Amino acid sequence: MNKIYNPKPETWSAILERPTKTVDDIEATVKEIFKEVQKKGDEAVAKYTSLFDGVSVNNFEVSKGEIEAAVASVSEELKAAIALAKENITKFHKAQKTERVAVETIEGVNCWQEKRPIQKVGLYIPGGTAPLFSTVLMLAVPAEIAGCNEIVLCSPPDKNGNINSAILFAANLCGVTKILKVGGIQAIAGLTFGTETIPKVYKIFGPGNQFVTVAKQLATQFGVAIDMPAGPSELLIVADDTAVPAFVASDLLSQAEHGADSQVILVSTSKKLMDAVEEEIQLQIEQLPRKEIAEKAIANSKLIFVENDKIALDLINEYGPEHFIVCTANDDFYIDEIENAGSVFIGNYTPESAGDYASGTNHTLPTNGYAKNYSGVNLDSFTKTMTFQKITEKGIQNIGKAIEIMADAEGLQAHKNAVTLRLKALEDGK
């Protein structure tokens, strides 16, 4: 890892740069595939599935028989673990439900706000070297709680044309209405435009590589909403001598093994801790099955020493980490003052992997600094807010004059007339 001591604020931006491709590098490819899927539907999806996934799929939709076989093949131990995680995720997201907000702003003017589910949502679940069945729970559970009518899941097939059994089990458990063997750019394009097999949806959720991230952003140009621009995983830890070096190293490696383009950073006020963590990383990485991937990510990562907690916090807020672990003697300072982070983990016994799987919080979070302006996925991500109002005769009389004056000042005579006519009718009726 790269060690950096007391970097000046003007260098932070360069030091904290993410190791990802720019949009310009891959946007042309994404646009080309979108155009072809829009025009040719399933034919184009099949073409790119063969090209990118190396498999020919005749029928994208997963059958009931395939689901039943997958459910039967998952071990009882894993089923129990998934069930426990689902229970905690359900509890946390059900607690996010809000009641109707109603207020009489002035006598006779009643306004209220209600949530409605997004009717059709698409869930993108990465496959590849790490089939993320945990992401199925994180997306499908709140979608079902919100009351979404159609929950469509896309995940890339393996070389045999199948989706990982645990993904199918979790999808079946969580109320997914349709499962499709489609991944990558072509999956996002299919959900955007709709094909003979893939339904068009109103909002797309889920993490992915840089190609998927750019595809999701392009989808917004065609009237489809997205959860956030969620790209390669990242973790920042702030720690001092109260932290356990082995724990800190294990957390850094847990994110590094996601992919070669993942980024992990340790910020510390202790040079002693930094040295100890570096040693632990070298020991632990040797035991990892995904050592090669983790090593590439670690090569792009940083150990940053700063003099005090205030400087550390300023640097962290500038970075805006997806995952943020706090393990210091002054945890409350960071908890109270952090402004930009997707999800925060506190103390020696709160590993980031708890949030990835089973604590109950959602692991679909903003990356690439988007924690400065995006929330992680939550129950409200699957709903939209509608406002209502009902005005009585007394109410229109109370606010009518103000409306007339404001409309007249903006030069919108029809707006003014809509009120004037009503006020006159009430006056004439007296």
Q: Classify residue 186 by burial, with Cβ atoms within 10 Å: 0-12, 13-18, 19+.
A: buried
Q: Which of 93, 234, 323, 352 is catalytic?
A: 323
Does residue 255 fall inside a structural domain?
yes
Does residue 385 fall inside a structural domain?
no
Beta bridge partners of residue 297, listed in sequence order = none
Q: Is the pLDDT of residue 277 over 60?
A: yes
C-alpha neighbours within 13 Å on the C-beta side of residue 207: 30
Per the annotation, where are the binding residues for Zn(2+)? 255, 258, 356, 415
How confident is residue 259, by pLDDT bands cut at 50, 70 and 90? Answer: confident
Q: Which of 257, 322, 352, 363 is catalytic?
A: 322
Helix extents (H) in 197-340? 210-219, 245-256, 271-285, 291-299, 309-319, 331-337
User: Considering its fold, how many domains does the chain have in total?
Assistant: 3
In this structure, are 167 and 73 located in the same domain?
yes
How confident is residue 430, by pLDDT bands cut at 50, 70 and 90? Answer: low
Does residue 370 fall inside a structural domain?
no
Residue 319 CA, distance from chain mean position: 17
Alpha-carbon torsion, ordered 329, 335, 339, 341, to 10 deg: 90
pTM to 2 decimal places: 0.94
In this structure, are 308 and 208 located in the same domain?
no
Q: Is the pLDDT of residue 8 over 90?
A: yes
Per the annotation, where are the binding residues? 124, 186, 209, 233, 255, 258, 323, 356, 410, 415
Is 342 strand, coil or helix?
Answer: coil
pLDDT value at residue 147? 98
Helix extents (H) in 12-163? 12-15, 23-40, 42-53, 64-73, 76-94, 133-146
Across 148-180, b (16+ Cβ under 10 Å) vs e yields bebbbbbbbbbeeebbbbbbbbbbbbbebbbbb
In this structure, are 49 and 155 located in the same domain?
yes
Nearest to 216 by CA among 324, 93, 370: 370
Residue 422 sits at φ, ψ, to 5 deg, of: -70, -45
CATH at residue 414: 1.20.5.1300
Residue type (1 letter), 368: N
In this structure, are 339 and 417 located in the same domain?
no
In this structure, are 244 and 356 located in the same domain?
yes
How confident is residue 108, by pLDDT bands cut at 50, 70 and 90? Answer: very high
Q: Is the pLDDT of residue 175 over 80?
A: yes
Does residue 291 fall inside a structural domain?
yes
The overall longest dimension of the chain from CA atoms, in Å, is: 88
Q: Is the pLDDT of residue 285 over 90?
A: yes
155 contacts 178 by C-beta, under 8 angstroms: no
Q: Classify residue 92 by burial, with Cβ atoms within 10 Å: 0-12, 13-18, 19+.
A: middle
In this structure, are 183 and 290 located in the same domain?
no
How confident is residue 21, by pLDDT bands cut at 50, 70 and 90? Answer: low
CA distances from 375 to 188, 320, 380, 393 (A): 21, 12, 10, 41
In this structure, are 178 and 263 located in the same domain?
no
CA distances from 215 to 25, 179, 209, 347, 376 (A): 13, 20, 10, 37, 19
Nearest to 142 by CA among 172, 170, 115, 175: 175
Q: Supply 163's token pair.
A: 């989706």
394-400: long-range pairs with CB below 8 Å, 24+: 394/107, 394/108, 395/106, 395/107, 395/108, 395/109, 395/110, 396/108, 396/422, 396/423, 396/426, 397/108, 397/423, 397/426, 398/106, 398/107, 398/108, 398/109, 399/106, 399/109
Q: Supply 405's token pair.
A: 């004056």
pLDDT value at residue 300? 85
How confident is residue 210, by pLDDT bands cut at 50, 70 and 90? Answer: confident
In this structure, are 13 and 59 located in the same domain?
no
In this structure, are 193 and 152 located in the same domain?
yes
How confident is residue 403, by pLDDT bands cut at 50, 70 and 90? Answer: very high
In this structure, are 241 and 202 located in the same domain?
no
Backbone conformation region of residue 247, classed left if phi is above 0, alpha if psi is from -120 to 50, else beta:
alpha
pLDDT value at residue 398? 98
Q: Is the pLDDT of residue 121 over 90?
A: yes
pLDDT value at residue 246? 98
Low-confidence winner among 147-151, 230-234, 332-336 (lowest mean pLDDT) = 230-234
Residue type (1 letter), 79: K
**Residue 93 a catalytic site member:** no
Range of the domain at 216: 23-99+117-229
How confident is residue 20, by pLDDT bands cut at 50, 70 and 90? Answer: low
pLDDT value at residue 209? 83
- Per-residue pLDDT averaged across 57-64, rounded? 94
Does residue 106 fall inside a structural domain?
no
Going by their DSSP bridges, the two strands 263-268 and 203-205 should be labelled as: unpaired
Which helix (H) or strand (E) element contains residue 391? strand 383-391
CATH at residue 220: 3.40.50.1980
pLDDT value at residue 72? 98
d(CA 136, CA 24): 30
In this structure, are 270 and 321 located in the same domain?
yes
Using alpha carbons only, how large is the chain's radius of gyration in Å?
26
Residue 133 sits at φ, ψ, to 5 deg, of: -65, -25
Does residue 167 fall inside a structural domain?
yes
pLDDT value at residue 420? 98
60 contacts 42 by C-beta, under 8 angstroms: yes
Q: Which of 198, 229, 260 is the last residue of a domain?
A: 229
Nearest to 237 by CA among 251, 223, 219, 256: 251
- Per-residue pLDDT averaged across 297-311, rounded? 95
pLDDT value at residue 284? 97
How confident is residue 24, by pLDDT bands cut at 50, 70 and 90? Answer: confident
Does residue 35 fall inside a structural domain?
yes
pLDDT value at residue 29? 95
- Per-residue pLDDT averaged across 402-412, rounded? 98
pLDDT value at residue 127? 84
Per the annotation, where are the binding residues for NAD(+)? 124, 186, 209
Q: Which of 194, 210, 229 is the last residue of a domain?
A: 229
- Per-residue pLDDT averaged across 264-275, rounded? 98
Running DSSP on this structure, what letter comes out for residue 309? H
Per the annotation, where are the binding residues for substrate? 233, 255, 258, 323, 356, 410, 415
In this structure, are 191 and 42 located in the same domain?
yes
pLDDT value at residue 260? 86
Average pLDDT, the chain: 95
Does residue 324 fall inside a structural domain?
yes
Residue 21 sits at φ, ψ, to 5 deg, of: -70, 155
Q: Which of 206, 229, 252 is the last residue of a domain?
A: 229
Give the pLDDT confidence of 333-373 residue by residue, as tens digits. 999 999 999 999 999 999 999 999 999 999 999 999 999 99
